[in-house]
Amino acid sequence: MQDRQGNSYGPRISLRIIFALIVAAFSLFAYFSHSTYNPVTNQKQHVDMTPEQETALGLQSAPEMANEYGGPAHDPQGQAEVDRIGSELVSKTDAGKTPYHYQFHLLADPRTVNAFALPGGQIFITEGLFKHLDTDGELAGVLAHEVGHVVARHSAQQLAKQNLTQGLTGAAVIAAYDPNDRNSRYKADMAILIGQVVGLKFGRNDELEADKLGVRFASDAGYDPRAMIKVMEILDQVAKSRTPEFFSTHPNPEHRIEHIEKAIAAKYPDGVPAGMIQ
């Protein structure tokens, strides 16, 4: 519209808002334009890496990750046990039908209670957790959970989601920040916080899915999946401090137990068969 002098007036969109919209649109397009079907999880996933790229990334990251936990453990017998059970979990389950190359590592850190997986099949367990496990079934449960992370391509998904979140957060900061408005800085900080919380939510969901896959892989390899419940109880006992679950990347052990029990009941509605390895 124009006034009598011919000057246009009405709502104007600043260049800052236009640029923010472009950044947001590009981030959304980049995320949703890359999708693939995972035949093991039977899910459509948004990832922008190939399995070969995941494998290469995992192999490149493995030495540095191992060094953070004291390097390889000086325990040939323990490493052999980890290798044996890990190999069974791959060779006897659908995990072996994936394009990944699995390697299982026992790390020397005696204090840190942890196990984790890198993309492409690099799987680690610390001596701090290994020494708390009493049975083959418990070790199988831990390793099966980590195999689940690899098969479900959680690392690749997280990288894609982080790129999306960073793009949208950046767009929100651009749109909210006004150098002439002191209060806009707090709006920008809030946008960053929201992005972080969204990322944490994805991590918790990944852990629960890996637990479900862990039940599947452990039992398919002949191990009693109920041993995973014992692992959760161990983790609960050794935890020295607690963070409220909503702000934790891992669900609390008792919450995970509920999901593990549901996964076991769904796989074995008539009860877990006798004779499985404890």
Backbone angles phi and psi of 79, in degrees to 5: -65, -40
Nearest one of 71, 88, 85 to 126, comparing CA atoms: 71
205 pLDDT exceeds 90?
no
The model's confidence at residue 181, banded by pLDDT at 50, 70 and 90, is: low
- Catalytic positions are 146, 211
pLDDT tens digits, one per residue of 116-172:
999 999 999 999 999 999 999 999 999 999 999 999 999 888 776 766 556 455 555
User: What is the average pLDDT across 208-237?
Assistant: 95
H/E segment holding residue 235: helix 227-238
DSSP state of 39: T
pLDDT at res. 237: 84
Burial class (CB within 10 angstroms; exposed 0-12, middle 13-18, buried 19+) of 181: exposed
Lowest average pLDDT, out of 50-59, 106-115, 142-151, 247-256, goes to 247-256
**Greatest mean pLDDT among 27-36, 171-180, 223-232:** 223-232
Backbone angles phi and psi of 111, in degrees to 5: -105, -35
Half-sphere exposure of 243 (CA within 13 A, CB side): 7
Give the DSSP per-residue string, 212-224.
HHHHHHHHHTTB-
pLDDT tens digits, one per residue of 43-92:
888 787 899 988 988 898 899 989 999 999 999 999 999 999 999 999 99
Q: Which runs of E-coded beta strand occur in the chain?
A: 36-38, 43-45, 103-107, 115-118, 122-126
Domain extents in the chain = 15-267
CA distance 228 to 145: 9
pTM: 0.77
pLDDT tens digits, one per residue of 29-46:
455 556 788 888 888 887
